[in-house]
Structure 1
Amino acid sequence: MRVLITGGSGFVGQRLCRRLDEAGHRLLVVSRDPEAVKGRLPEGATIRRSVLDFVDTPPEAIVNLAGESIAARRWSDEQKNRLIESRVNITRDLVILCEQLKASADRAPRVMVSGSAMGYYGDQGDREVTEETPPRDEFAHRLCKRWEDTAREAADFGTRVVLLRIGLVLDAGGGSLQKMLPPFKLGLGGRFGSGKQFMPWVHREDLVQAILFLLDSDELEGPFNASAPHPVTNAEFSRTLAKQLGRPAFFPVPAFVLETVFGEMSRLLLTGAAMRPRRLQEAGFQFRFETLEAALADILG
């Protein structure tokens, strides 16, 4: 089938495009610079600058992974608006595409899997978090809610909408580990603040397989937590990563230092949620990497 992917040249998107191509699907990828990303994508992918450029090539499915990195820079009011707009605007374009295809040919895409994030729940302390857990109202939640609410509008045109609340994505060559590894390899790693905050995580390969599973499961819609079944605290993550590398982890970073350096954005490092993928598991999805030890052993060799 024809699958439209936003964020297809990103860390998760590249792996997803490879798996879709291997399965024989036709790739339609949105990128602001098609020539620059061409070499990162499978041969034969159709790359265009705008979602609405694909009106003449109707996708049967959509995967929405686009959005500026939430940790790219300090959260000024201007940056907060940029983070919201980078997600909401392209998601709104996808809804408009669904509307146009429904009106012109009565064939809107049958499914849209739209990325969201664990930040939807806000700081949940140490309680177990499922898709039904009430969120805490803070910026990360408001960002994710607007993103999700916009995606839900595609259902008005007969498109099945799946919302994927993604944990920290782990794999070699990018994602969360890319910034963590250098200090840990030098023996300079350690917990953030108290270390008691939970870090829901997922191996990139499991995340991609979950997306493929949700694309093909016609009965599934609504929110799904995309994180491994066994979240860990920040302190546990630090100890496990250091052990895998054969290094100590004796250098904690005090909360006040993070708050001074990053301002409100420090909440990404100092708070969390013990997020569980209840709906995915109930639907029959099986994680290849259920524990952090297994995931890091695979990634770090």
Structure 2
Amino acid sequence: MAEKVAFLGLGVMGYPMAGHLAKAGHDVTVYNRTAEKAAKWTAEHGGRAAPTPGEAAKGARFVFACVGNDDDVRQVTTGAGGAFDAMDRGAIFVDHTTASAELARELDAAARERGLGFVDAPVSGGQAGAQNGALTVMAGGELASYAAVEPIIAAYARAVRRLGPAGAGQLTKMVNQICIAGLVEALSEGIQFAMKAGLDPEAVIDVISKGAAQSWQMENRYKTMIAGEFNHGFAVDWMRKDLAICLEEARANGAHLPVTALVDQFYGEVQTMDGGRWDTSSLIARLLK
């Protein structure tokens, strides 16, 4: 069933995600901090562009956001001209931003005060997943709000699951980033080892990817890692933002993340190599310099 929806934030993820909502037949109004991007989106997909988050959210049953960080989310929700004050009672806000679990709980409480639903729903799958409508979505929030929005999210997701109350989606995304950090560092070290040992690294990866060492990172990044090509994918700057959230949460809940902390430092080295916008697979660059 077609719904009236809004999408706030048209970056490398939000732009195609909003596009899939339009292709699914929903009535989409978009907002982006840079108005030119919103105009480009409407020229491509139809719908409308609004000058503020609140204007975009007015009358929408579902409001989605995918912006940069906690402060950006606050700006489009509870800030001046934000969505929360413009949304009708019973409407549901879905935050796809990778942000803190603390923020998710804060916004859930603010939404309840206004009679709104709230779902924190960070995504995994990168730009390619967003473009192909094949994202994995990790959600937290009240069951009723999640159940209402799940069929809408399906427009750009291959998997979506509720993990618990508000904040559970963000906590699950932290687990995702913790695992990726360790995997990419191990893959970088393995490829470097193969090179130093005089092996053909592509042949090595082709063999071991058929066994227990297989991972998404191995299958999708080994060729560009060997070639030293990193101008694609999820940026190091954003990964460091995410790992900072993970490490802060670990300090609060008592989890021990020694490997994650070390890999975060390694990403810092990549930034000093002017690699802040490189893909996260650029960890190998610091080993081969």
Structure having greater relative contact order (Cα 8 Å, sep ≥ 6): 1
TM-score, length basis structure 2 = 0.49
Q: Which has the higher helix share?
A: 2
